[in-house]
Each structure stands twice: as C-alpha cells, then as structure tokens.
C-alpha cells in the first residue's frame, strides 16, 4: 500500500467525460489499497479564458484580483472530480489551497510555496477518501489567495509529494513523456526514458513546458522521483531522477522554444555611467524578469539598449519604460512581441567548441535571421521571428541528430 500523488493537466480534465475517465484511472489505484492524492489543473483553455476576461476590463489588472480570478478554474475541476468519484460509489473530498494550508509568499501571480500543513490531508486519507486538491494556488499568511505562475499545478503536485513523503509522484499529461523536443511540433522527437533533474531544469527553463521549472527544482531539492506520463495510454513515461552513471550523455540533449518572449529597445540612450542601473532597477523592483540584454554603441555618446522580457510582462514593462525613457532622456521605446527563443541544451556542450556556430549555420541555411544570441556552458539560445519557430526547432533537431540514441560526440560535430 503506497501513498501516491497524481497530477492531471488541463487537457486531461478538459471535459466532464475526461474527468470521468481520470476518476476511473485513479479508482484503479484506490481499489488496490493505495492512498490517493489527486492534484488537478483547470480545464484546458480555462486559465487563458479567465486572463482574457480580466484584460477586457483592465489592461494591467491588480495582481491580487488576478489571483482571485484565475484560481477559480481549479476549483471547478476538483469539485467535479469529487462528484464523479462519489457517483462511482466511492468517497472523495475536494480541497482548495487554503483549505489544505498551502502557504505561499505574497508575490501574487507567481507566489512561492513556503510550507504545507499535511494534517487535514492525512485525516481524510485515513477516512478512506480520495483527496483531490486544486493545483496552482495557495494562500498567504494573511489569508489572501495566490497563484504560483502558469503551469504551477506541477509544482503543487511535487510540493505535496515532498510534504506528504509520498511513495510516488506522477504527472499525467497529453504526451507520453519527455522528448528531445516538443513532439507536437517535431514528429522526429524521441522519448527519453530517464532524465536527470539538472538536465530537466535546463530544458524547463528554456521553454519545455511539459514540466514547470519550479516543480523540477523542488523535486531535486527533496529527491522526489517524478514520473511524467500520458493520461490517455498505459505506457511508461519518463522518470526525472538524480543523475545516473549510465544516463545518455549527448552533446546536445534537447531543443526547446519559448514563444512567451518580447523584445524591447530603448533608442538613443545617453551612454554614461549609471544608465543601465537606472533602467533595470525599477524593472526588477516590479518583479519583471529580464533575460537577454544587448547594448549597441552608436556614433557619438548615444547607445541603444535592447533586451527581452516575458511576453506576459510586456505591457507592464512598456508602461514602466516609457517613464524611465523620459527620466534618462532616451529618444524612444520600441517593442516587438512577435519573437521566439529557440535553444539547444546539453551538459555535453561544456567541453566542446563549435556548437554555437553549427546552430547559427543551420538557422542561416533555413534563411532565419538571428536577432539576439545568448550562451552559457550548456546552452545556446537565439531570438528569431516567431513565425520561424517550428522550422528552426525541426532543423536543429535534424542537424544534431537527436532522433538517434547515444551517438558518440565525435561523430556529431
Ligand atoms: P498539462 O496541461 O498537462 O500541464 P502542458 O501543456 O503544460 O500540459 O505540457 C505538455 C506539453 O508540453 C505537450 O503537449 C508538448 O506540446 C509540450 N512540450 C514542450 N516540450 C516538450 C518536450 N521536450 N517533451 C514533451 N512535451 C513537450
Ligand atoms: N491552470 C494553470 C495554467 O493554465 C496551472 C496549470 O495548468 O498548471 O497555467
Ligand atoms: Mg503544464
């Protein structure tokens, strides 16, 4: 008899029919005597729908009110799930973040979990109930509802698995595991059987939304093995675990993309000490994350400052920058939301040169212009026009032969 945390994503609970199917699956484990904690997302498309409703009312809504709104999507699915369990003749109880005591920081729309009170969950499990918990949400010390950021239900599930010391944490989704790239845009993507926390952290940080990055960080910290698998098949999925000796060590292990990017340029900024701080301090104070930064010197004492932010922060960033531009006497602020970031990731890159230049050649061959570049020891990212994203991902996946397993590094360069 085990304690199992299972999380089902939006597409898995996208209709009452699908909820009934998920209930049957969970009941299969329950009937074997396992204690089941089930974390659910909102129905697919629901969180986007709620965000759009808010935007219809106000361009930059108050983050606290935003959390009041978007957290409702999960309330619907957990209640329906509990009803479907009861209808099937078993006992279940649905709980929201504050009822479980998922305490978070007060940073609305991207709060961090601080601790979870497990008592109530154990009480209901001991009563023989299936406990279903709304993902993505928590509550501050002062009782305000928070959300954990998009994709945050994964984080709820892993945090619960850690707090309850669960025997297993399974993330059920619409693909049957973690692939070398998004299988929905690259048919040649190859499923990975086991992947280390570190490598998955990289993939997630660069856009592989199959797992929310904070869930991977928590899994690593608390050594929770995570099984990512499909809601719609019985197949084994991918295990995210600590690094093992015989794990595939590829030069490039994955290709990722993120369309949640926007580019902002401050034109003709006076090139003098302190200007960068004047620009980026207020931005970071507003909780806006800046990714790549490029500074181009013009003739004379002026410079252009270009950087990227999350597209979801774009309106707020532009609003702030208009004020900053005036203060520092920059000529203008321009922005572009039609960009994407494509990246190649792999710990094997550490000791090899020429990977970045190969990437640039491949993109050039496809006629794709690179607007910005950033590199680290184990990744290379390029900003390109959004419309070329799929083409770029497929070309890179082909060029680095990611559809083939364990190709010796030397053969690949
Ligand atoms: P859920 O609603 O279940 O949380 P998500 O849409 O958040 O599901 O995540 C699953 C999606 O992640 C897949 O449908 C796929 O398009 C995308 N994805 C991106 N990169 C990868 C990858 N490397 N492996 C698997 N899926 C990926
Ligand atoms: N419903 C939330 C979202 O769409 C959280 C999640 O699905 O993980 O981002
Ligand atoms: Mg998700």
CA of 110 to the centre of ligand 1 (A): 20
Q: What digits encode the pLDDT tens for the residues 222-258?
A: 999 999 999 999 999 999 999 887 666 667 889 999 9
3 state SS of 194: strand
The top-level CATH class assigned to 245-413 is alpha beta
Helices and strands in the chain: count of H runs, count of E runs: 14, 18
For the chain, what's the residue count? 413
- β-partners of residue 304 are 296
Per-residue pLDDT for 161 more than 50? yes
Q: Which ligand is nearest to the CA of 43?
A: 2
Q: What digits encode the pLDDT tens for the residues 259-303?
A: 999 999 999 999 989 999 999 999 999 989 999 999 987 778 899
3 state SS of 86: helix
- N-terminal to C-terminal alpha carbon distance within the chain: 50
| CB of 133 closer than 8 Å to CB of 99 | no
Per-residue pLDDT for 410 more than 50? no
Report the distance separating Cα 413 and Cα 356, nearest Å. Answer: 11
Report the distance separating Cα 249 and Cα 346, nearest Å. Answer: 8
Domain boundaries, the chain: 3-174, 245-413
- Report, as an integer, the average pLDDT of 132-146: 98
Note the pLDDT of residue 333: 97
CA of 341 to the centre of ligand 1 (A): 17
Nearest 10 degrees: Cα torsion 22, 25, 31, 37: -50
Q: How deeply is 309 buried, as exposed, middle or buried, from its count of CB atoms within 10 A (0-12, 13-18, 19+)?
A: buried
- Crossing angle (nearest 10°) for helices 46-57 and 63-70: 140
- What's the distance, CA 127 to chain centroid? 35
Q: What digits encode the pLDDT tens for the residues 76-101?
A: 999 999 999 999 999 999 999 999 99
Closest C-alpha residue for ligand 1 atom 12 = 210
Note the pLDDT of residue 129: 98
Q: Which ligand is nearest to the CA of 74?
A: 2
CA of 255 to the centre of ligand 1 (A): 13
pLDDT band at residue 353, thresholds of 50, 70 and 90? confident
- Mean pLDDT, the chain, whole residue set: 94
Note the pLDDT of residue 246: 66
49: tokens are: 């729908």
Ligand 2 pocket check for 14: Cβ under 6 Å: no
Note the pLDDT of residue 411: 41
pLDDT band at residue 326, thresholds of 50, 70 and 90? very high
Report the distance separating Cα 69 and Cα 358, nearest Å. Answer: 46
Q: Which of 35-44, 204-213, 239-248, 330-339 has the lowest mean pLDDT?
A: 239-248
Q: Which ligand is nearest to the CA of 45?
A: 2
48: tokens are: 């986007």
- For the full predicted model, state whether its pTM sits above 0.85: yes
Q: What digits encode the pLDDT tens for the residues 354-398?
A: 899 999 999 999 999 999 999 988 899 999 999 999 999 999 999
Closest C-alpha residue for ligand 1 atom 11 = 210
- Which residue from 18, 154, 207, 209 has its CB within 8 A of the most atoms of ligand 1, so it is best to mutate? 209
- Report, as an integer, the average pLDDT of 306-312: 95
* 381 closest CA partner among 290, 258, 249: 258
Ligand 2 pocket check for 358: Cβ under 6 Å: no
Sign, Cα dihedral of 113, 117, 120, 126: positive
Is the CATH number 3.40.50.1580 carried by domain 3-174? Answer: no
CA of 147 to the centre of ligand 2 (A): 9
Side-chain half-sphere CA neighbours of 168 within 13 A: 17
């Amino acid at each position: 008899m085990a304690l199992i945390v299972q999380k089902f994503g939006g597409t898995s609970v996208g209709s009452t029919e699908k909820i009934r199917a998920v209930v049957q699956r969970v009941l299969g484990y329950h009937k074997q005597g396992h204690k089941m904690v089930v974390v659910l997302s909102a129905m697919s498309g629901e969180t986007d729908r709620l965000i759009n409703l808010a935007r219809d009312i106000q361009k930059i809504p108050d983050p606290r009110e935003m959390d009041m709104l978007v957290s409702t999507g999960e309330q619907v699915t957990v209640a329906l799930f509990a009803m479907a369990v009861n209808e099937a003749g078993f006992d279940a109880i649905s709980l929201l973040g504050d009822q479980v005591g998922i305490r978070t920081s007060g940073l609305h729309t991207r709060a961090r979990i601080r601790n979870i009170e497990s008592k109530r969950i154990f009480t209901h499990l001991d009563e023989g109930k299936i406990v279903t918990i709304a993902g993505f949400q928590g509550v501050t010390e002062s009782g305000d509802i928070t959300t954990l950021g998009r994709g945050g239900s994964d984080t709820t599930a892993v945090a619960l698995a850690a707090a309850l010391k669960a025997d297993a944490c399974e993330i059920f989704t619409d693909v049957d595991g973690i692939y070398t790239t998004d299988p929905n845009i690259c048919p040649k993507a190859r499923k990975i059987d086991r992947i280390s926390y570190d490598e998955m952290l990289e993939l997630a940080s660069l856009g592989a939304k199959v797992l929310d990055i904070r869930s991977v960080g928590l899994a690593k910290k608390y050594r929770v093995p995570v099984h990512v698998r499909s809601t719609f098949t019985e197949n084994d999925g991918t295990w995210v675990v600590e690094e093992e000796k015989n794990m595939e060590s590829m030069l490039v292990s994955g290709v990722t993309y993120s369309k949640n990017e926007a580019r902002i340029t401050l034109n003709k900024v006076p090139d003098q000490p302190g200007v960068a701080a004047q620009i980026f301090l207020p931005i970071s104070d507003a909780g806006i994350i800046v990714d790549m930064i490029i500074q181009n010197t013009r003739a004379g004492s002026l410079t252009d400052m270009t950087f990227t932010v999350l597209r979801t922060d774009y309106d707020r960033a532009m609003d702030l920058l208009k004020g900053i531009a005036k203060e520092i006497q920059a000529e203008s602020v321009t922005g572009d939301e039609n960009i994407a970031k494509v990246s190649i990731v792999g710990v094997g890159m550490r000791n090899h040169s020429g990977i970045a230049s190969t990437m640039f050649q491949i993109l050039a061959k496809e006629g794709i212009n690179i607007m910005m570049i950033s590199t680290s020891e184990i990744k290379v990212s390029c900003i390109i026009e959004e419309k070329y994203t799929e083409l770029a991902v497929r070309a890179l996946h082909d060029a680095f032969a990611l559809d083939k397993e364990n190709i010796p590094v030397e053969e690949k360069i």
